[in-house]
Amino acid sequence: AAGHPEISIEYVTANQYKGMAVSDLYPHLTGVYDGKYESFDLDTAIAKADVFFLALPHGKAMEVAPDILEAGCKVIDLSGDFRLSDPAVYEVWYKKEHTRPDLIEKAVYGLPEIYEEKIKKASFVSNPGCYPTGAILALAPLLSEGLIDTEGIVINSLSGVSGAGREPKPETHFCKVEGSLTAYKVGGIHQHTPEIEQYLSDIASKPIVISFTPHLMPISRGILTTAYTDAVGSTSLDELLDLYKLYYKGKTFVHILPRGQYPQTKSVAGSNYCHIGLAFDERTNKIIVISAIDNLVKGASGQAIQNLNIMMGFPQDMGLKHAGLMP
């Protein structure tokens, strides 16, 4: 946001870092943004800014967003508080009471490549989770055209350690992660599972249940997702590639790779791009889709900026024209 030509950062809050310069906590922002953190105060907030990004722990955004919206400001929420349409489902998966179910219908799911028209009219956007972003973009064209069996979809995603957040945890300690690759929350228990299912079901216009397994890999950032699906009817890799190119035509941040090329997390690191590659296993009649995103950018903050651009009528790529950091 600091490099966005139409944005001025007026208010940055983090109660635990009150009075600290942002660049002291994040030295790479020295000279880019040197403002200081403040403790959150509603009256101060709405007097200073028009649009708010909420990057709060799950369960906290529902305490803050309602008052900001009531004041007539726009909100882009990066938590999971308003992504699920059923508060009961939220409570099962996030183990928290949903205290503002009345706002769920007002929140537009902020996946621009699918819901751009709704985002244009929104004052409240719920930014997608990182895993759902990669998974939904990988499967949307197939489901929209009815080219795959909606039963038996398997999704495996590998994420960099930054996806676990800043808080130190034994399982993300360098000595445990370095040189190792592990699955976690195995058996359909990751909290992003119902989010993926909800929006894939919306695209397919029928209920979808998936098998989703996340993995932790020893890199800082990036998500590589592989989705395995059963084809319905006859198809070919060339037909599938043409479908994806057509489906995402004009979508600035989704690139369909040529035949025989497959996404790499390094290629999208630091960028808001999603790279997608496809294969068709004729022997098993399976369509395999692979996507790569940066979990911190297209999977979080970059997508939030993309949503702001749509809400404000700016070009979607404004402030986001950054290629991946390769090598």
In the chain, which residues fall in CATH 3.40.50.720?
Answer: 15-128+300-312
- Categorize the per-residue pLDDT at 216 as very low, low, confident or very high, splitting at 50, 70 and 90: very high
Looking at residue 320, its pLDDT comes to 96
* Spatial distance between the Cα atoms of 245 and 226, rounded to a whole number of angstroms: 18
- Categorize the per-residue pLDDT at 170 as very low, low, confident or very high, splitting at 50, 70 and 90: confident
List, in sequence order, every beta strand (DSSP E) within 78-140. Answer: 108-109, 124-126
* Spatial distance between the Cα atoms of 12 and 39, rounded to a whole number of angstroms: 8
In the chain, which residues fall in CATH 3.30.360.10?
Answer: 130-297
Topology adopted by domain 15-128+300-312: Rossmann fold (3.40.50)
* Spatial distance between the Cα atoms of 206 and 247, rounded to a whole number of angstroms: 20
Looking at residue 166, its pLDDT comes to 76
In CATH terms, is domain 130-297 a member of 3.30.360.10? yes
30's tokens: 């020295």
Catalytic residue positions, numbered: 130
- Res 168 pLDDT > 80: no
pLDDT tens digit string along 284-316? 999 999 999 999 999 999 999 999 999 999 999
Looking at residue 199, its pLDDT comes to 98
Q: What region does 125 belong to: left with phi over 0, alpha with psi -120 to 50, or beta?
A: beta
Helices 112-120 and 302-312: crossing angle in degrees, nearest 10, is: 40
- 312 near 122, Cβ under 8 Å? no
- Categorize the per-residue pLDDT at 122 as very low, low, confident or very high, splitting at 50, 70 and 90: very high
- Res 105 pLDDT > 90: yes
Quote the mean pLDDT of the chain: 96
Residue type, 165: G
Range 86-95 contact pairs with CB under 8 angstroms and sequence separation of 24 or more: 89/194, 93/191, 93/193, 93/194, 94/58, 94/59, 94/191
